[in-house]
Structure 1
Amino acid sequence: MNRNRKVQVAALTLTAGVMIGNAGMSVSATPLAGATAMVSTTEASAEVTSNSTLSGVNLALADMVTEASAKADEAVTEKETTAVAESKEAEQDSKFNHLAVGHVKDYANIRKHASASSKLVGHLSDGDLCTVLKKKGSWYKVESGKVTGYVKADYLTVGSEKAVKKASRVIAKVQTQTLKIRAKASTKAEVLDLAAKGDTLVVKDYNSEDAKDGWIKIKAGDRTGYVSTDYVRLTRSYHYAESIESILAKLEAERAEEQAAENALENTSNNSSTSNGSSSSNRSNNQSNDSNNSNNSSSRDYDAPDSRNGGAVARFATQFVGNPYVWGGSSLTNGADCSGFVMAVYSHFGKSLPHSSSSDRSVGVAVSQSNMQAGDIVCYSGHVAIYIGGGQIVHASNARDGIKISNANYRNILAVRRVL
């Protein structure tokens, strides 16, 4: 009995010595094998006991090392993930660092050199997108469309992802024969309006996640609605600066078109007066009265817009009937040409439109002639007007008639645009 106890103690002592001297030893026995074998009283059992106990301790240490290694791996993975996220964020920011957007009331001059006295090479309108090439003092050298030059830094928002995305327009072009515009993003929602194939709708607050759900929010006239993405094609577009050569050429072309239209109308009037001699005398008296009215137009009282919709635009615009036509003008009281009249009217509703009848063909959204509403802009060749309902328009007609009301179909309509 005593001999057996001595063997057992010796075995435990041997185990401790081996464990300290060979902490990294690897064995295949299970941790509980030592505890089981220690009840043996033979020398052979003592040997097994020592090996089995040691194997259990080594496996426990191995588990601790494995757990520590796993935690270290997790820490490294977390650091790597953070680094990748920061890298992607930095990369995203860098995409917009060289982009700028015009931030002006109307337009900013683009100069050939960084000086206010330098040659004018173009106009950068509010919301126009450009690429920043370099900075020189308080000027940025930019490239926008086909124009390259310098713009004062005060008129640009540089490196802003929000500004760049806001400057873009997402357009939905209808691909089906008739598209229902609904009050909510559901096929069960109320139908607000219908859009025909080929119509373009301005998408509001575009979100790619919303588009994945099958619906996008659009503006239809003065109302907001939803359409299914299954029946539209989405495109994103930007506006860019316009060169001085392009601006002058466009104005000259419009002037020629307006002059041709005025001459054609004059010939029609002359032919009519030949067949009726008294009409010429009456027209002369009317012109004299119109002239007197025009002289007093600036002293007349006019009502401010009473709301912000197409009907209000029509009511406001018709107040200026009888006021003079002045080519290149934009005064509702002292004289305006056709596009200047439309521009001036809409400026009272917070809308900045171009002083160009051809450019007016791309403002707002397109609507069909059959869906014209009061306040819509009616575009002709070299001319533009405002629809007031009942098949009539109000427009700055020509130098003889001034601002007047006419039938909308007195000429061939090229386009109808809705801004409000």
Structure 2
Amino acid sequence: MKKHLWMIGVAGLTGITLLAISNLNASVISTEIPMAGIELSLDKYYTADPLSSPTPAEEDSTDVIENTESTDNTVVVPDVEAEEAAQEEEETTEEEVDIKSLISNMNYDRLGIAKVDNYLNIRQKPSMDAKIIGKLPKDAGCHIYSIKNGWAKIVSGKVTGYVSSEFLVTDEEAEQYALEVGTLVATVNTETLNARFLPSVDSSIYTLVPVEEDLEVVKEDLSKKYITSFIEKHFSGEDEKYIENVDQSDMNKQLEDWVCVTIDNEKVFVAKEFVTISYQLKKAVFVEELAEDGSSGVSSLRARMVQFAKQYLGNRYVYGGTSLTGGIDCSGFMMRIYQNFGYSIPRTSAAQSSYARTISASEAKPGDLFFYGNGSRVSHVAMYIGNGQVIHASNPKSGIKISNAYYRTPMKVGRIIND
């Protein structure tokens, strides 16, 4: 559906905000504290922290993480979660919105976008020998402070540092490119948000999502026809229990208060009152280099597993795939990581959950597994990499990425390595 934006101001403004006020259902759970308005803008990245002056960049491509030839055999092994995900893909109806006017008036002082195959390394200083402090994903946005001697001083999200400028699209070219890669997301603006199976407070809770988490919007303007079709496709047999308390007639009267989003490859619903909906570019993520540390339980094996997994950041997500470079899903990614270090583990996330020994989240070490699902069934798995982060094959749009370990509520934390 084509959406028309009412632009506020005149040409020459440096930013634009579109606020929408709607009468939202007041019966939402009290722990979800609203923030008023829906902002429509591209994030502005700023920091006041000075960094050292740049030195000439070496002619070296090691700061760009690219696909390499796979050493594993591509084997597509169908599983339940892959088949369900394929059905989900068929019915995806993403919002189509004309944001050209928005881009021309956005509030970046100087926009840069990473145009690489996977990730661009962010370094502490403008030198190839400097410590890597973050990763700028493919198509991620940044504010450029300066470009000198082949290095761009940038800030993206909460990461400030230096990247090789040859891999950045800048200025007007970046603004045009943003039209292609910008995504409509719902950013959680309450401490903990309930994501539900259906757009109703009477629907069962799918999972809990923390503040500041970005959720990709599938459909912003819900209709009775869309919801009816959604229910027919997703809630039959034993899955009917998730919606049995929902009065569909009452639900259909309040659809304007809800938005459909994706969490990994699952479509769920969140109340608009507790999210800020805006067009955004991907942001950088902090990456802490992991080293063997016996005192904290990080063995050489665990450190090597994390480094092995990180080299595939940004690679493709494919339903049922098991190729690290040709395409892989969440459980296939875990299977291949462990296989590389001599471990044979089951193929699906549910089977991996049963196979792993349960531990508490406070005991988690790099290499342990975090399992996610709807409270009764595991449908996703990620590997803990330390510093409160996990690496996982998320969905076709994001591919293999790094996330906060609690970007959704884990059902279980499991251990396979007994060291």
Give the TM-score band, short-chain normalised. Answer: 0.3 to 0.5
Q: TM-score, normalised by structure 1?
A: 0.36
Relative contact order, higher structure (CA 8 A, sep 6+)? 2
Larger gyration radius, structure 1 or structure 2: 1
